[in-house]
Amino acid sequence: MDRRLALVTGASAGIGAAFARILARHGYDLALTARRGDRLEALAEEIRLRSGVETLTIAADLADPDATDQLLEHLAAHGRTVDALVNNAGYGLPGAYADTRWEDQQAFLQVMLHAPCELAHKLLPGMVERRFGRIVNVASLAGLVPGSAGHTLYGATKSFLVKFSQSLHLEAEAHGVHVTALCPGFTYSEFHDVNATRAQISAATPPWLWLGADEVAAAGYEAVEANRTVCVPGAPNKAIAAVAKLIPDDWALALMASQGPRFRKV
């Protein structure tokens, strides 16, 4: 195929769907994956009609350790290689750590850490060989500020993705591969509906702290094209990230202890 292919995980809604539309407008064919096959097919048909690119859909649950290999085998069977990867799939797991089931935390880590790292590891050699690649790891502003009680592994996994992206950026940039950690703050999507925190967070946050999924994805696309290592969309989020670097750790942790319950279920 003449066109490059982008693989987007968690593509059925929100930031993932917005990324898919942007990539298609820039001429990429798409491989879209998420758990909801009907939503993927609807998005794929919309993009095919609007942009005229090829769209492949693979319904998969990245909590399954075999899912990444199955995705790549599916693409290989269609004769396609991946030139751009958007590791977007993710969710929140509310509650205090001791009150959750380990099986749920294990699945969370599989989706949020193992799958993005495995996909990047298996796709990067081909990108290096072709001297072209784009990798966007959708992290979060939560990965740039101190941890808070509740959703215990969420900020930790997002902080990992930031550091992982920085290291991968340094290793890959000489080979034509751009790597970016995208760190959005509050974003209008289904994220807070899925973990039933929409009402709590909406009541605790002003509208100016929120961005649309299209804005976030556009910022991420521009950042990876410009080969910027970390992208924090929105002026308020940039200010929060900057302040978090400047204030002493004990002050920052005390602030999270006092304000965290407004945003997290414990």
- Which residues participate in catalysis according to the annotation? 154
Given CA atoms 117, 164, 93, 208 in this order, what sign does their dihedral have?
negative
Angle value at C-alpha 108, between 204 and 36, nearest 5 degrees: 85
Q: How far apart are CA 40 and CA 47, in angstroms?
A: 11
Burial profile 53-83: b = 16 or more Cβ within 10 angstroms, e = fewer? bbbbbbebebbeeebbeebbebbeeeebbbb
Q: How far apart are CA 90 and CA 55, in angstroms?
A: 22
User: Are 93 and 109 spatial neighbours (Cβ–Cβ below 8 Å)?
Assistant: no
